Amino acid sequence: MSRPDSTGAPGTTVRVPAKVNVQLAVGGRRPDGFHDLANVFLAVGLYDEVTATPADALTLTCTGPDADQVPLDDTNLAARAARALAARHGLDPAVHLHIAKDIPVAGGMAGGSADAAGALLACDTLWGTGATQDELLAICAELGSDVPFSLVGGAALGRGRGELLEPLPVGGTFHWVFAVADGGLSTPAVYKECDRLRDASGAGATTADIPDPEPSPALLDALRTGDATALAAALDNDLQAAALSLRPSLAATLAAGTDAGALAALVSGSGPTTAFLVADADQADRVAAALRASGTCRTARTAAGPVPGATVLPQG
């Protein structure tokens, strides 16, 4: 392998957003154990920043809220992204990746996926590999179901395991509050619980039992027109019952946000972060304050979307 030609190169920093699933329709369990999805993503303005600088070997550091929960070895998706890009171009992945974390960790907001997309774009820029968007998206899909969306941002419908993206038009800005819970929830465990609950209900949990997942026409129309009230009525997450089964305390958080005036509430992805759609920025501040005072969550954050995906920041 050759060493990247980055002698004296300054660091490259990429900003990458969190996501909320405004719809997560989960199909039956496939023979390979995965589930087909109709996953409507919206990128929101909570960001991690990933900085890539030349180094003698691949190393990771992380700062920010819950940084102590972020693995700094090869299990980290950012490290895997750097190795995958280097392998494709015959390079030694000699880079230091620093993650400045602000997206909740293990919170169902794709923080790890965001870091992978950020590292991929940062290394591509630092090393001058000139990868096409299609190549970067292919690497993203190999890394995880949410990673491709973290790269492109905006709003999109994810098919397959969520990695096959179709951009969606959005007619306005949607305002959100995110209540951060203590601890995380394992995504595989939540899917397993979803299957268990479906089996227990008598509906069955396989592709033979569950209809193919489809996006809600009403939800897509609400996004297109920018109608927050209509979007609130259409929000849906097939994993919410499983997340609540594993973490019953989330029900109190959902109720606290709704009681404070949110238009709608749902578990974000596989949780345990809960998401509250609100009418405007002022209401977001009020709902966030009420959630912080409720004692049902660790903290609450406000954000709006859609926002762009992974973006290289100007140097200096």
Binding site members for ATP:
104-114
- The whole-angstrom separation of Cα 77 and Cα 11 is 20
Between the CA of residue 257 and those of 185, 262, 264, what are the distances in Å? 20, 6, 8
* Binding-site sequence positions: 104-114
User: Which residue carries 């419908």 as its tokens?
Assistant: 157
- The whole-angstrom separation of Cα 248 and Cα 292 is 19
Find the catalytic residue in 48, 146, 195, 238: 146
- The whole-angstrom separation of Cα 266 and Cα 277 is 9
Q: Is 146 among the catalytic positions?
A: yes
Cis peptide before 306 (omega within 30 of 0): yes
- The whole-angstrom separation of Cα 163 and Cα 146 is 6
Sequence letter at residue 91: L
Find the catalytic residue in 19, 48, 101, 102: 19
User: Roughly how many angstroms between the first and final C-alpha of the chain, as a whole number?
Assistant: 31
User: Of all helices (H) and strands (E), which one includes residue 194?
Assistant: helix 187-201
User: Which residue carries 């923080």 as its tokens?
Assistant: 111
Q: Is 48 among the catalytic positions?
A: no
Residue of 51, 59, 26, 53 lying closest to 40 (CA atoms) = 26
* Catalytic positions, written as ranges: 19, 146
